[in-house]
Every structure is written in structure tokens, then in C-alpha cells.
Amino acid sequence: MGTVSLFKAETRRLAKRRFSRYFVLGAVLVLVAVAIGMFVSNEKPTPAVIAQAQAEADRYFQEQTGYAAEEKKRCESLTPEQMKQQYGEGFTCDQLGQLQREDVQIQDFMPSQFDFRENFPGMVTTLAAILAMVAFVVGASFIGAEWNSGGMMNLLLWRPRRLQVLSTKLAALVVSLIGLTVTLSAVWTGLFWVIATMRGTTAKMTSGAWQSIGLLELRGMVLVLAAGMIGFGLASIGRHTAMALGAAIGVIVVFQFGLAVVLQVARVRFAEAYLLPFWGIAWLEKEWEVLDYNAPCDFSAVNGCEPPSMVITWQMAGIAMLAVVGLVTMAAMWTMRKRDIT
């Protein structure tokens, strides 16, 4: 009963906060802009569109054939000396390229269409990345503002079980993020299904394809939750929202841009493996192949000289993410338990 009422209060508190509302609203507006952009930049291959593309392809073929004929005529008018000078020894005008009809594909003249099976996974990644950023900032602010305003102390006067209070707050954040991510993912999927229906195709959506999208959305949600928990944990350790935001900026500046330059200069092997975004991509796209251009290449008779590669799998990325989340959460709990509240 006690924990349930505290959970209810904390969920209400999170939903009532203007910062949370405005930040989520901002993210939704960005997502709407992305969806509108995709809608506008794609077009369904209607018979009229296909006919127009066919006409353009024909016109192109005619143009190119005309140019080729003119070129052949010009070639045949050259003296052997001029021929040798322009085309080289032993060249004959029959060797000039002649465009074949099958070389001109109608697809090259069609406006792009939104292929749900092909293009929607990229949209899921976009959704996950935006929501992960929202989760980090909202999570950090949720606990950071409480510490900063004295609300946390007030709450502890009512519920003097520190770990229970912090855990319940974290649970309220996680459950709210799950609710937000599931809702937006469902709306996102529906929205792009409509876009694909109106401006592209929903063909080849087998149960396997749906399962793959479902799993991708699930991995996206885990990424969102991890970002939220890390933001929450860092702000709780520092007892201020700025602590989490500072840490995030520090990680981006020092460990990404700075580290990338250092790794490049030091010609470190598999440099990309040290950079977080590639682990994120590996998590969402199931794997990421890191190529090592700083090492001697692997030679094979079939493929020639290829740089050595290392694959970051989604399992490896998942374990790394779990370790970071666990470490930050445990540190937040430990400081909550041990430190005086002054």
C-alpha cells in the first residue's frame, strides 16, 4: 500500500512537471517533422507516375542514342592520324559505346517511394535515438530538480526509507518511459504504415519482417530505458540535474570527439570500437563491423587486400549497456544510503 501510493505520487509528479511535458512535446514535434518530410519526399508509383517515368526513360534513351550516332559520325569523319591521336592505336569507330534499351531502367526515373520493409527500420532507429535523448534529460531533471529544490528532503521526512524512495522514483521513471515509448512506437509504426500505403509500398511484410521490426523496437525501448536510468543515476549522485548533463557533455566532448582524434593520431587498432555511437548502432542494427585501416591488410586470392575487421554484436553492446546502467544505478543507491542530507 505504502509503496504503491508513493509510486502513484511519483508517477503523477513526473507527469505534472512542465519540463517533462515540454521536452516530450518537443520530441513529438521533431518526430512529426520527420514524418511530414518522409511523406512529402516520397510518392506512390501510380500508373500515371509509371507512365511519366517511362516517357522520361524513353526520352533519355532517344537522346543518348542520338548523341552516340553523332559521335560515330564524327569518328568516321576523322583521318587515321586524328583517330590515333584521339582514341589511341588500333581503335575503330565500331568500338564506340552504344546504349542498349535495357541499360535505361525505369526505376531511375521514378520518384522515391517509401518501402515499409526496406525503410521503416531506419525510422525506428530515429525514434529510439530521439527518445533516448529525451529519456536521459527527463530522467536527470526528475531527480536533479527534486534534490535541488529540497523536494527530496521533504519527501524523506514523509518516507524515511531512502533506498525505497529512490527505487520507487526510478521505477516511476522506467514505467513512464515504457508507457511513452510503447505508445509512440505504436503511433510511429501506424503513421509510417499509412505513409507507406499512400506514398510507397507495404509489400513483402511477412511475419518474419514484422517480428524483426518488433525486436528492433524492443531494442530501441531498452536503449531509451538505459539512457533514462543513466541520466537519473548521474543526477542523483551529483544531486543536481546539471551533474548528469555535464557528464553527458563531458562524455561527448572528451570521450567521443577528443578520443576519436587521439585514436586517429595514435593509429590505434580498431579505433571505432572505442566510440560509443558504434556500440549504439550495433545494439540497434544487430551488429557493426569495425574495419582496421591502421593494420596491414589481409590478402586473399579471391578478394585481394582487405583491412582486418571486428564485429560488435548486439549481445556485446547489450552487456556493455547493462554494465554501465548497473554501475551508475548502484553508485546512486550507495550515495543515497551513505551520504547525509544537508
Strands (E), the chain: 114-115, 200-201, 287-291, 298-300, 304-306, 309-313
Q: Which residue number, 13 or 44, has a Cβ lying nearer to another protein?
A: 13
CB of 124 or CB of 152, closer to another protein: 152
CB closer to another protein, 10 vs 272: 10
Between 65 and 148, name the residue whose CB sits nearer to another protein.
148
Nearest approach, Cβ of 40 to another protein (angstroms)?
A: 38
Count, in order, helices (H) and strands (E) of the chain.
12, 6
- The cell for 125 is 532507429
Task: Specify the DSSP element, H or E, that contains 214.
Answer: helix 207-238
CB of 9 to another protein, least distance (A): 3
User: Least distance (Å) from another protein to the CB of residue 41?
Assistant: 40
Q: Name which of 282 and 336 has its Cβ closer to another protein.
A: 336
Distances (CA, A) of 161 to 11, 266, 305: 18, 50, 63
Write the DSSP symbol of residue 299. E
Q: Which residues bind another protein (CB under 8 A)?
A: 1-2, 5-6, 8-10, 12-13, 16-18, 145-146, 149-151, 153-161, 340-342
Closer of 160 and 208 to another protein (Cβ): 160
Q: Which of 89, 99, 91, 90 is nearest to 69 (CA)?
A: 99
Least distance to another protein, CB of residue 338, Å: 8
Q: Which is nearer to another protein, 14 or 132 (CB)?
A: 14
Least separation in angstroms between CB 312 and another protein:
42
- Taking only Cα atoms into account, the Rg of the chain, rounded to an integer number of angstroms, comes to 29
The answer to whether 31 touches 127, Cβ cutoff 8 Å, is yes
Q: Considering the complex, state which of residue 150 and residue 214 has its C-beta at the smaller distance from another protein.
A: 150
Nearest CA-CA partner of 199 in 7, 1, 35, 16: 35
Q: Is 298 helix (H, G, I), strand (E, B) or coil?
A: strand
SS3 287: strand
Report the b/e string of 197-225 with b at 16+ CB within 10 A: eebbbbeeeeeeeeeebeebbebbbbbbb
Q: Report in angstroms how near the CB of residue 298 gets to another protein at its nearest.
A: 55
> Closest distance between another protein and the C-beta of residue 19, in Å?
8
- For the bound state, the minimum distance from the C-beta of residue 144 to another protein, rounded and expressed in Å, comes to 12
| Total residue count of the chain as it appears in this document | 342
